[in-house]
A and B are shown apart, each in its own frame.
Chain A
Amino acid sequence: MAAIRIENLRKGFGSLEVLKGINLDIADGEFVCFLGPSGCGKSTLLRSIAGLEELDSGSIHLGDRDITDLRSAKRDIAMVFQNYALYPHMNVRKNLSFGLALNGMKRDEIDRRVNNAADILRISELLHRKPRQLSGGQRQRVAIGRAIVREPKLFLLDEPLSNLDAGLRVTMRVELAALHERLGVTMIYVTHDQVEAMTLSDRVVVLDKGKVSQFGTPLELFYQPANLFVAGFIGSPRMNFVTANVVRQDRSELTLSGGGLVRDLTLETLSSTVVAKDKPVTIGIRPDKLELVSPEEAHLVGDVRLVERLGTESHVHIGLENGSDMTAVVRGTHPVANRERIHLRIPPEHCHLFDADGKAIARALDPETQMLINQEKSKRVA
């Protein structure tokens, strides 16, 4: 096991700079996800750690060792690829043992490691089969097994579940979490699926255009997004945004008006926060926190464009009077209908605030959420 430290890592392809100065400190035994949209650089970052990409600048330390210029094979890592990368002409046992045998490991030790990995992953009865004779989930297990037999200090997983169907993905997700628990080894996992990132990780690195947008626990990302990108990227349906102007600041109390609001909104910020008056801000509100109210109480007014009924809840897509779109999540049996005029209230305690640069303006969380986040953090430290 080992911690990993990345300092000012830069990587480009020709004139295109993909990674623009990445700094990360990942603790020993931590499960960290690199999350971001396509093209954000998450796979390039993982491949750089694996030694499959040459860096332009920066350094990578694994434990006490500087592995920046080491060959892949010398880094003490193992990698699981998105499309499994199993050798199709070798059976499962050969796939698992191939690298070990060519590195001069003794037969007994190879057998021990292969049998151990097969036991852990419950693939012992498949050892004689070729990859084409395995289901998607079994292939994925073999790919993970090939990483386990190396007994590495660091596991790198590049979207390992993206080729599986939805049901199997959930099963494999649970198995991966159990595997991490059992092995206790540092794991870095690349995904564009936020559910995977949120459920598996101790901490998540959200990447945007080659930069770390936020690095925190899943709950931190959800409840305390550092910027508009993270706020919009984490959570489904995505967070709603409304622009407004600060019309008054009285110590920690801000009054917002204009923009998309039909009625002033007053909310608390941390007392240390200073927001320039008349500067535009963005209010962020999760769809499930919007309240359908009477016209007198409403902050927003719009027309229902579409109602998606999902059973336990319904997603209501709304076109606001100022032309922007919004989504509200209501109970499944709510009688709201298409083309209906709708009045929405933004509960001040649940809204997020972002300055003109898109950075979050600090607000206090409710004690229960804060306690959960603290618990998550302390678990990681422990």
Chain B
Amino acid sequence: MDMTYAGAEPKVARRKRSAIARHAAPYLFISPWILGFLFFTLGPLVFSLTMSFYDWPVVGERTFVGLDNYRTMIMDDPQFWESLWITVKFAAIYVPFNIVMSFLLALMLHNITFASGFFRTAFYLPSVISGVALVTIWSWIYSKEYGLLNFMLSFVGIDGPNWLGDPNLAIVAIIIASLWGLGGTMLILLTGLKAIPKELYEAATVSGVPGWAQMLFITLPMLGPMLLFTFITSIISAFQQLTIALLLTKGGPLGSTYFFAMYIYDNAFKYFDMGYAAAGSWVMFIIVLALSLGVMRWSAAWVYYEGEVRQNDGEGHA
């Protein structure tokens, strides 16, 4: 009797241990990602939110100020509104141009049969160049005296302007430089175009549907999810615009390219007011989140998903 009991105990313990191991195994496998997420995403997020409620100099005493940073920014800081307005202006031009030009390039690459691989690489290449290298190239292109752009304009008799010195042109120059990296967006749309079954176009061709209608009623709706994705990522990257402006114009001339991200950057690393900069980051986060949610909501009217069944579509699968 005793022997049986003594023999059974380790067996139960073993079973228990193996059950724990079985349950723990999946979590162990994903633990590197979870740790990364906790330390590099969620942690800084919570930390910056906390920071935004403090007067937080880099060196010295931190003081809890509640919502003061937010109140001051919105009520008493004209630079906040100016930088936000410049960013909104930039986004309003950059986002549609980025999508339309990427789409047209993708369409062109989709339809050419000659050296398509070469052109695909050529158009994508600028988007893998680092921001600093890109700015160096563009500062040379935009240079008033020896810039490539003005040199080319001189061939058609135009005396090129001071692109980076004119408050009205500087933002245009930054938009053009930013559009140079549209290769990523183009590649996403090109993939989307390639995924549209060619029979849809053939069926339309046989039915006498003209080319423009095929584009409008087949290509664009079929690209809906990709267009939505690029729309949202373009908005995010427009609001995060910092590198090009910081290195190319330093926010000038006369603050005409002083983007919201630069406003946050200056508060953090020029004025060392980390709490105020964190509050700015959270304002940017809320604006981008609100815009993205708005676009997502609006997209219900024009984005079609293959697997999705909507309430008014019918009665489900036959």
* Residue B208 lies at the interface, judged by CB distance under 8 Å to chain A: yes
Q: How far is the CA of A38 from the CA of B210 in the complex (A)?
A: 32
Query: Contact: A132 with B309, CB < 8 Å?
Result: yes
* Residue B133 lies at the interface, judged by CB distance under 8 Å to chain A: no
* Residue B287 lies at the interface, judged by CB distance under 8 Å to chain A: no
Q: How far is the CA of A134 from the CA of B204 in the complex (A)?
A: 21
* Residue B26 lies at the interface, judged by CB distance under 8 Å to chain A: no
> Interface readout for B218-237 with A: 1 if CB under 8 Å, 0 if not?
10011010000000000000
Q: A83-B199, A88-B306 are in contact. Are A99 and B318 (CB under 8 A)?
A: no
Residue in B204, B206, B222 whose beta carbon sits within 8 Å of that of A77 in the complex: B206
Contact-residue size bin, chain A (C-beta under 8 Å from the other chain): 20 to 34
* Residue B205 lies at the interface, judged by CB distance under 8 Å to chain A: yes
Q: How far is the CA of A302 from the CA of B250 in the complex (A)?
A: 92
Q: How far is the CA of A85 from the CA of B199 in the complex (A)?
A: 5
Residues of B193-216 whose CB lies within 8 A of A? 197, 199-200, 202-210, 213
Q: A72-B206, A73-B207, A89-B304 are in contact. Are A98 and B199 (CB under 8 A)?
A: no
Query: Contact: A135 with B318, CB < 8 Å?
Result: yes
> Interface readout for A88-124 with B: 1 if CB under 8 Å, 0 if not?
1101000000111011000000000000000000000
Closest-by-CB residue of B relative to A130 is B313
Residue in A99, A128, A132 whose beta carbon sits within 8 Å of that of B204 in the complex: A99
Residues in B neighbouring A138, C-beta threshold 8 A: 318
Query: Contact: B315 with A133, CB < 8 Å?
Result: yes
Residues in A neighbouring B307, C-beta threshold 8 A: 132
Residues in B neighbouring A50, C-beta threshold 8 A: 202, 206
Residue in A78, A89, A102, A133 whose beta carbon sits within 8 Å of that of B206 in the complex: A78
Query: Contact: B304 with A129, CB < 8 Å?
Result: no
* Residue B314 lies at the interface, judged by CB distance under 8 Å to chain A: yes
B203, B206, B210, B313 interface centre (most CB from chain A within 10 Å) = B206
* Chain A nearest Cβ from B227, distance in angstroms: 13
* Residue B23 lies at the interface, judged by CB distance under 8 Å to chain A: no
Q: How far is the CA of A361 from the CA of B281 in the complex (A)?
A: 89
Residue in B207, B221, B318 whose beta carbon sits within 8 Å of that of A89 in the complex: B221
* Residue B316 lies at the interface, judged by CB distance under 8 Å to chain A: yes
Query: Contact: B200 with A85, CB < 8 Å?
Result: yes
* Chain A nearest Cβ from B316, distance in angstroms: 6
* Residue A146 lies at the interface, judged by CB distance under 8 Å to chain B: yes
User: How many A-B Cβ pairs are below 8 Å?
Assistant: 91
Contact-residue size bin, chain B (C-beta under 8 Å from the other chain): 20 to 34
* Residue B317 lies at the interface, judged by CB distance under 8 Å to chain A: yes
Q: How far is the CA of A81 from the CA of B199 in the complex (A)?
A: 7
* Residue A52 lies at the interface, judged by CB distance under 8 Å to chain B: yes
> Interface readout for B136-167 with A: 1 if CB under 8 Å, 0 if not?
00000000000000000000000000000000
Query: Contact: A98 with B202, CB < 8 Å?
Result: no
* Residue B47 lies at the interface, judged by CB distance under 8 Å to chain A: no
* Chain A nearest Cβ from B217, distance in angstroms: 7
Query: Contact: B314 with A133, CB < 8 Å?
Result: yes
Q: How far is the CA of A103 from the CA of B202 in the complex (A)?
A: 16
Query: Contact: B208 with A126, CB < 8 Å?
Result: no
Residues of A303-326 whose CB lies within 8 A of B? none
Query: Contact: A133 with B318, CB < 8 Å?
Result: yes
Q: How far is the CA of A83 from the CA of B199 in the complex (A)?
A: 8
Q: How far is the CA of A78 from the CA of B202 in the complex (A)?
A: 11
Q: A89-B222, A129-B314 are in contact. Are A98 and B204 (CB under 8 A)?
A: yes
Closest-by-CB residue of A relative to B204 is A99
A99, A100, A103 interface centre (most CB from chain B within 10 Å) = A99
Residues in B neighbouring A133, C-beta threshold 8 A: 309, 313-318
Query: Contact: A85 with B209, CB < 8 Å?
Result: no
Closest-by-CB residue of A relative to B208 is A73
* Chain B nearest Cβ from A111, distance in angstroms: 17
Q: How far is the CA of A72 from the CA of B203 in the complex (A)?
A: 10
Residue in A51, A82, A83, A98 whose beta carbon sits within 8 Å of that of B209 in the complex: A98
* Chain B nearest Cβ from A227, distance in angstroms: 34
B207, B309, B318 interface centre (most CB from chain A within 10 Å) = B207
Query: Contact: A103 with B208, CB < 8 Å?
Result: yes
* Chain A nearest Cβ from B210, distance in angstroms: 7
Query: Contact: A128 with B314, CB < 8 Å?
Result: yes
Q: How far is the CA of A72 from the CA of B201 in the complex (A)?
A: 12
Residue in A73, A82, A100 whose beta carbon sits within 8 Å of that of B205 in the complex: A73
Query: Contact: A102 with B208, CB < 8 Å?
Result: yes
Q: A128-B314, A132-B306, A133-B315 are in contact. Are A98 and B217 (CB under 8 A)?
A: yes
Residues in B neighbouring A73, C-beta threshold 8 A: 205-209
Q: How far is the CA of A135 from the CA of B317 in the complex (A)?
A: 7
* Chain A nearest Cβ from B195, distance in angstroms: 12
Q: How far is the CA of A232 from the CA of B163 in the complex (A)?
A: 77
* Residue A373 lies at the interface, judged by CB distance under 8 Å to chain B: no
Q: How far is the CA of A85 from the CA of B306 in the complex (A)?
A: 14
Q: How far is the CA of A103 from the CA of B208 in the complex (A)?
A: 7
* Residue A185 lies at the interface, judged by CB distance under 8 Å to chain B: no
9 contacts between A and B (CB under 8 A): A50-B206, A51-B205, A52-B202, A87-B218, A102-B217, A126-B314, A133-B315, A135-B318, A138-B318
- Identify the A interface with B (CB < 8 A): 50-52, 72-74, 77-79, 81-83, 85, 87-89, 91, 98-100, 102-103, 126, 128-130, 132-135, 138, 146, 150
Given A74-B208, A85-B197, A133-B318, 17 other A-B residues pairs in contact with their CB atoms under 8 A: A52-B202, A73-B207, A77-B206, A79-B203, A85-B202, A87-B200, A88-B304, A98-B209, A98-B217, A129-B315, A129-B318, A130-B314, A133-B309, A133-B313, A138-B318, A146-B207, A150-B207
3 closest A-B pairs by CB? A99-B207, A73-B208, A85-B199
